[in-house]
Chain A
Amino acid sequence: MDSLIDVMPLYLEGFGLTILLLVVSGLGAFILGVIIAAMRISPLPSLRVFAVVYTEALRNVPLLLVLFFCAFVLPILGVSVGPDPKVGYLLLAILGLTLYTSPFVAEAVRSGINGVPIGQAEAARSIGMGFGATLTLVILPQAGRMVVPPLINVFIALTKNTSVAGIFFVNELFSGVQRATRDHGDKVLLMLLFAAALYLLITIPLGQIAGYIEKKVRVLR
């Protein structure tokens, strides 16, 4: 028990940073992802091509390499880490997580729009609705409902992915685990289970919310 109390501050700091990473890069990925999704369905072919290349490239590269790029290659390119390296690397980690997560957000949003049957749009058009009305009154309300659960799943994945930021000088939960297991070699199992519980504290409720929303707002067809 003593060792648990011993690592408490370490774990709490890590937990806080994990949540910070989740919220900030989640928000960033959401904004970027919606823009990419909009480009993907835009009438302009050049934007569509750009969005496809962006999505495919980032989705097929391990997160570790994306973070490696942000932490080691970007500084060489002249992106300065700033006066406080702790903050600097945190920002770079947020950038990496944002970039890595944004294509998954884009795909979730796009699949939601794709999931609305074409008959809905056809019906709206046939009763004389214009483009704007079709989109805002018929398509988006349905797409929005279908998008929320997969989006939450993207954020659950992001929560788990924050653990990778640990090796790039960010003291999030997983790097706390590594230190704790080093310091308390005799109670490794306890340290690991404690950390697992903290991760589950974020991911399981999010999963429950996704399931609940899915049942609640499902469009019955």
Chain B
Amino acid sequence: MSLGVLYDAPGPKARRRSLIGSIVGIILIAALFWWVIATLAAPRISANDAVTPGLFDPSRWDVLANPLVWERFAAGVGATLLMAGAAAILAIAVGIGFSFARTATSRWIRVPAAILLEFFRGMPVLLMIFFVFLVFSTGAYWAGVIGLGVYNGAIIGEALRAGILSLPKGQREAGFVIGLTATRTRMIIEFPQAFRQMLPIILAQMVVLLKDTSLAYVVAYDELSRTIQNMQKALGNRYVFTLFIIGLAIYLALNLTLSWIARAVAKRSGPKAGKLTPTGPAAALGAEGTRAITLPVLERDRPPRRPD
């Protein structure tokens, strides 16, 4: 819903008030930022008269001149991407499997699949990674890949199922009419449409997956955030802030790029006007709480273009 309709078109007075409000808002936010930065930059004197240099002091940033630090960062990013990539492939495979099992005609497949799925969805990823690591002794890398893959696969499976269920009934009937079996209908008619429709949600889940690789710290896998902590231990507390800021920037760059790709894909291949939209408010609102990007506005919810 566009909010424009809630208000009358602003007149000169309201426009002036809004402008003043914006300026005051900008000043307040700028003042807050200035205060934070000034506080960070100020050297602090602790109880024993030792002076700690401010956080923007060169002595805290000289570490960045060391190529070894950058090598470690690069290794951390590489390890993160390696785990995220493998986990993403596994998650999609698991998700496809779950979506088929959950929509199977046989109750003997559907019910166990539903129980398994609830189990995987309700557990923390952290516990899952730890679980795989201890019970199956797979080593850190595979524990992370399997834990992340199965957890995100369960969520992708639910999204794909919603996609299959939201297809018009005629799609399935058409398959039967031309003599396809139930499995063939699902594989070559229903599933491709569901996958295409749910692609934005799947990509959004990939952002979550990429962020969650940081949880592999629990099995001592040296991905990006553990690299930061390791370097903090090696270099001392003086550089915590510096390392933190660099790590933050890398994560933001990675995730925002992925979110941006997800959005671009959503625009191109999202639900098309008036058809193939997920049903129910939960599907429409993007149920999973850890979702990292805004869902595309469904065509159905978009206000009709009004003649000007």
Contact = CB atoms under 8 A, between A and B. Distances in A.
Contacts of A164: 124, 126, 215
B97 interface: no
Contacts of B259: 56, 60
Secondary structure of the B contact surface, majority rule: helix
Given A65-B214, A121-B5, A121-B6, A155 B301 contact: no
A125 B281 contact: no
Nearest to B32: A50
Given A50-B29, A73-B241, A161-B124, A65 B285 contact: no
B282 A111 contact: no
A157 to B, nearest CB: 3
Interface residues of B, number: 73
Contacts of B111: none
A60 B292 contact: yes
Contacts of B2: 118
A197 to B, nearest CB: 10
Given A46-B22, A69-B244, A188-B134, A157 B285 contact: no
A192 B131 contact: yes
Contact of A114 (B119, B134, B297): B297
A136 B2 CA distance: 17
A174 to B, nearest CB: 6
Nearest to B18: A43
Contact of B287 (A76, A125, A150): A150
Contact of A155 (B225, B284, B289): B289
Given A62-B251, A68-B229, A199-B123, A118 B214 contact: no
Contacts of A30: none
Interface in A145-173: 145-146, 149-150, 153-164, 166-167
Contacts of B213: 62
Nearest to A196: B123
Interface stretch (A1-9, A81-89, A91-99, A200-208): A200-208
B6 A78 contact: no
Contacts of B303: 117-118
B123 A76 contact: no
Nearest to A52: B294
A120 B3 CA distance: 11
Nearest to B297: A114
A63 to B, nearest CB: 7
Contact of B244 (A68, A114, A156): A68
Interface string B273-304: 00000001110111111111111010001011
A76 B7 contact: no
B26 interface: yes
Given A46-B25, A47-B25, A107-B294, A63 B124 contact: no
Interface in B160-211: 207, 211
A36 interface: no
A36 B182 CA distance: 48
B1 A121 contact: yes
24 contacts: A43-B10, A43-B18, A45-B22, A50-B25, A50-B29, A60-B207, A60-B292, A61-B255, A62-B212, A62-B214, A63-B211, A65-B248, A72-B232, A77-B55, A117-B301, A160-B124, A160-B125, A163-B127, A178-B218, A188-B135, A192-B130, A196-B131, A203-B123, A211-B282
Interface of A: 41, 43-47, 50, 56-57, 59-65, 68-69, 72-73, 76-78, 101, 104, 107-108, 111-118, 120-122, 125, 131, 134-135, 139, 145-146, 149-150, 153-164, 166-167, 174, 177-178, 181, 188-189, 192, 195-196, 199-200, 203-204, 207, 210-211, 214, 218-219
Interface of B: 1-3, 5-7, 10, 18, 21-23, 25-26, 29, 39-40, 44, 55, 118-119, 121-127, 130-131, 134-135, 207, 211-215, 217-218, 225, 228-229, 232, 237, 240-241, 244, 247-248, 251-252, 255-256, 259, 280-282, 284-295, 297, 301, 303-304
